[in-house]
Amino acid sequence: GQNIDQPTEMTATEGAIVQINCTYQTSGFNGLFWYQQHAGEAPTFLSYNVLDGLEEKGRFSSFLSRSKGYSYLLLKELQMKDSASYLCANQAGTALIFGKGTTLSVSS
């Protein structure tokens, strides 16, 4: 199976740091993606991890531990525009299996 679990909702304030966790079943793992989705819009690609460790890309970083079936997305210096749903997705063959997403609300 490809159960992907992530928290449903998180809240944070502008300028803060937030970590969104994701756990997945390790069978058939081909890479872990993070997408951002604003309400009513399409998901947009944020990051990809296939090896263990931290990938940093500006204010966003993503971490992967394959042995633990665990990833997190780290958002620094939060801005109001970061309020969105963050989707963790596992590549299974040519398809993506998405988690339900974590809705992040950033307040001033």
Partner 1 sequence: DAMVIQNPRYQVTQFGKPVTLSCSQTLNHNVMYWYQQKSSQAPKLLFHYYDKDFNNEADTPDNFQSRRPNTSFCFLDIRSPGLGDAAMYLCATSIDGNSNQPQHFGDGTRLSIL
Binding site for partner 1 (CB under 8 A): 4, 30-31, 33, 40-45, 48, 50, 87, 91, 93-101
How many CA atoms lie less than 13 Å away from 65 in the CB half-sphere?
8
- Least distance from partner 1 to the Cβ atom of residue 99, Å: 6
Q: What DSSP letter does each residue of 7-34 carry, written as one string?
A: -SEEEEETT--EEEEEEE--TT---EEE
**From the CB of 90, what's the least distance to partner 1, in Å?**
10
Q: Which is nearer to partner 1, 13 or 44 (CB)?
A: 44
In 1-108, which ranges are E strands?
4-5, 9-13, 18-24, 32-37, 44-49, 53-57, 60-65, 70-75, 84-92, 95-98, 102-107
Q: Is the Cβ of residue 43 or residue 75 nearer to partner 1 in the bound state?
A: 43
Nearer to partner 1 (CB atom), residue 41 or residue 52: 41
Minimum Å distance from CB 15 to partner 1?
A: 28
